Structure 1
Amino acid sequence: MSIVKLPGWLNQHLYREKRFSDLTEEELDELKGRLNKIRNDNPDISVVIPAWNEGDGIYRTLSSLASNITNLKVELIVVNNNSTDHTQAVLDRLGVKSFFQPVQGITFARQMGLMNARGKYHLSADSDTFYPPRWIELMTKPMIAEPDVVGVYGRYGFIPPEGRTRLNLWFYEKVTGVLIRIRRYNREYINVLGFTMGFVTEIGKATGGFEVTDVRKFDNALGSEYFVEESEDGRMAVNLKKKGSLKLVTHRDARVFTSSRRLTSEGGVLTSFIRRLKLHFKQMNEYLIGS
């Protein structure tokens, strides 16, 4: 795959230049049919997605998950976090199992999903992210194979805005990849991100789940007046490590691609990169020696 191009598997899920209302009945029925294949009442795995005003985006994420190939039994849950757009109508039309969380905040949405998940393993996803065909299988594999592994987290790339190159994003991702490996020694919880992580469901519930003191908004842009330092995914990671180990899934076929809108909300790729690089350099000592 070229560093400036998106992977081929992603193309069929982009529905380029189409809002949900632009989809034909044939397209809707085809997507619903694929989603029905990962609906199970006695699942091995629960894939849980929080959603807030994602009516014209979440069906793309659902399409990518519906194309996953696995022999494991899967249930898909979406938690509608008080959306004011047509998110619920999309879920209803596609026959997706959903819960409504009226309390605003991604922490509350993820926690509701966790408490309603029935699978032995829990995979956490996001409504603006695309999942490759083997993501479910590859993310779950370490927890099945290694009893000490109670949680996993994965690699990711960014989708550029329409008409923009991936070159700057690729460089950003490479630097982030180096930081991830440095932080694994003493600050691994920082690496764990809610759009590509997983854990043993009962351990996640027993150790406190996603509950935090300060609840972040969905983009949580660095430098904004509403930025929150503590995150629900990092808190989950800290809790999980009390019971076992975390594992970084490095397989190239488990790499997800997510929206770059957070970087845009932080002033663009370059601005976001500089801000975050300065922050990480200040914290490098604790990454390396833990103090």
Structure 2
Amino acid sequence: MSVFSNPEWIKQYDYPFDTINRVPKSVFDEINVRLDNLISATNPLVSVIVTAYNEEINILRMISTLSCLHTKIPFEIIAINNNSTDRTQETLDNLHIKQFFQPIQGCGPARQLGHEMAAGKYILLADADCLYPPDWLNEMIKELQQPGVVCIYGRYSFIGSPEIPRWRLLVHETLKDIIAEIRHYKRPYLNAYGISMGYLRDLGLKAGYIDNDTRGDDGRLCFDLMQYGRIIQVKSRSARVWTGPRTLLRDGTLWQSLKVRISKEFRRGFSYLTPHPAHDTKNSKN
């Protein structure tokens, strides 16, 4: 794990564009050449589903990382424009991937449409504002193909910047990973985020996503999948996804975010030692 700097491989995706109209055609051409040589047009084993709401530049970076995956596993990419009001659709129109539009707001409805339209036996979820390392797909599918495994989830790191250095973000990551270990014992679904998650498509269709704009659609699906088999945490560093710290900054500064999270986890700590009773994930409150 990088302590004082971001990994070298993410630097090539630091595009200096703030709107899609400033992206040269050559950037799309380079990505599409890689996609054409990598994506399986027929009989994909894996379907990577990406949902996007107002991510016209972020999803360009993200798809570019997927176009550089080191894998021989046949896969497809399915992007769902979840009612974006910016130029996300224009970005998708210029990329050689499958795409659909979901007017019902929410990750649940968007991902539901994605896995209904998927052709792969296995589903991998990805977020539009993340960067995926070259071995991500290989490492995830290696775990998902184990006997009895029905759902997997991976870990993620935060991208540092001159304003927020990597070492400060590493403090959050370390605590996050420790809590994930505790949660996984009885409540693994609390660690299952769409940023890096996978499952068997047939069982995912059977369980289904929530059909409204409620947080936690990914964890709710994972909870429902637990009745069918094992949930695995993918700890491989080469599968670790990288993302910006904007979720941390919702609580203010990094220090404020840390205090909020420590307080929240302290209150919930003992609950992680017991399994959550069966309940209606489609209608329950968070």
TM-score under structure 2 length normalisation:
0.91
Structure 2 CA distance for partners of 1:13 and 1:114, relative to 1, 3 Å: same
| CA distance, structure 1, for counterparts of residue 237 and residue 271 of structure 2 | 29
**Consecutive unaligned residues in structure 1, runs of 5 or more:** 217-227
Task: Give yes or no for the alignment of 1:234 onto 2:235.
Answer: no
Instruction: Please tell me the residue identity of whatever aligns with 2:219.
Output: G
Counterpart of 1:6 in structure 2 is 6
Equivalent residue for 1:254, pick from 219, 223, 239: 239
| CA distance, structure 2, for counterparts of residue 91 and residue 51 of structure 1 | 10
Task: Give yes or no for the alignment of 1:89 onto 2:90.
Answer: yes
Shift of 1:186: 1.3
| CA distance, structure 2, for counterparts of residue 41 and residue 114 of structure 1 | 16
Task: Give yes or no for the alignment of 1:211 onto 2:214.
Answer: no
| CA distance, structure 1, for counterparts of residue 18 and residue 85 of structure 2 | 20
Equivalent residue for 1:287, pick from 230, 254, 272: 272
Which range is displaced more, 42-51 or 182-191? 182-191
| 3-state SS of paired residue (2:185) | coil
What whole-Å deviation, never above 9, does each CA across 1:213-255 have from its counterpart, x for those lacking one? x623xxxxxxxxxxx5xx1011111111110001111111000
1:39–1:76 CA contact under 8 A, matched in 2 = no
What whole-Å deviation, never above 9, does each CA across 1:129-149 have from its counterpart, x for those lacking one? 0000010111011122x2201
Counterpart of 1:155 in structure 2 is 155
Shift of 1:40: 2.3
Counterpart of 1:129 in structure 2 is 130
What whole-Å deviation, never above 9, does each CA across 1:240-278 have from its counterpart, x for those lacking one? 111000111111100000121111222132222211211
| CA distance, structure 2, for counterparts of residue 261 and residue 82 of structure 1 | 21
Shift of 1:21: 2.6
Counterpart of 1:54 in structure 2 is 55
Structure 2 CA distance for partners of 1:59 and 1:195, relative to 1, 3 Å: same
| 3-state SS of paired residue (1:85) | coil
| CA distance, structure 2, for counterparts of residue 63 and residue 28 of structure 1 | 9
| CA distance, structure 2, for counterparts of residue 17 and residue 84 of structure 1 | 18
| 3-state SS of paired residue (2:186) | coil
Structure 2 CA distance for partners of 1:282 and 1:131, relative to 1, 3 Å: same
| 3-state SS of paired residue (1:113) | helix
1:48–1:76 CA contact under 8 A, matched in 2 = yes
Q: What are the within-5 Å matches in structure 2 for residues 6-25 of structure 1?
A: 6-17=6-17, 19-25=19-25
What whole-Å deviation, never above 9, does each CA across 1:72-114 have from its counterpart, x for those lacking one? 1111000000111111111111222110001111111111111
Which range is displaced more, 89-98 or 33-42? 33-42
Instruction: Please tell me the residue identity of whatever aligns with 1:211.
Output: I
| CA distance, structure 1, for counterparts of residue 17 and residue 205 of structure 2 | 40
| CA distance, structure 2, for counterparts of residue 42 and residue 281 of structure 1 | 47
| CA distance, structure 1, for counterparts of residue 162 and residue 206 of structure 2 | 43
Counterpart of 1:190 in structure 2 is 190
Counterpart of 2:106 in structure 1 is 105
Structure 2 CA distance for partners of 1:251 and 1:260, relative to 1, 3 Å: same
| CA distance, structure 2, for counterparts of residue 270 and residue 290 of structure 1 | 31
Task: Give yes or no for the alignment of 1:116 onto 2:117.
Answer: yes
Structure 2 CA distance for partners of 1:56 and 1:35, relative to 1, 3 Å: same
Stretches (4+) displaced over 4 A: none
| 3-state SS of paired residue (1:125) | strand
| CA distance, structure 2, for counterparts of residue 45 and residue 289 of structure 1 | 33
1:161–1:260 CA contact under 8 A, matched in 2 = no
Structure 2 CA distance for partners of 1:162 and 1:95, relative to 1, 3 Å: farther
Which range is displaced more, 260-269 or 6-15? 260-269
Shift of 1:290: 4.3
Shift of 1:17: 4.9
Please give the root-mean-square deviation of Cα atoms over the aligned residues, in Å. 1.6
| CA distance, structure 1, for counterparts of residue 198 and residue 253 of structure 2 | 29
Task: Give yes or no for the alignment of 1:30 onto 2:30.
Answer: yes
Which range is displaced more, 22-31 or 93-102? 22-31
Counterpart of 2:250 in structure 1 is 265
Counterpart of 1:67 in structure 2 is 68
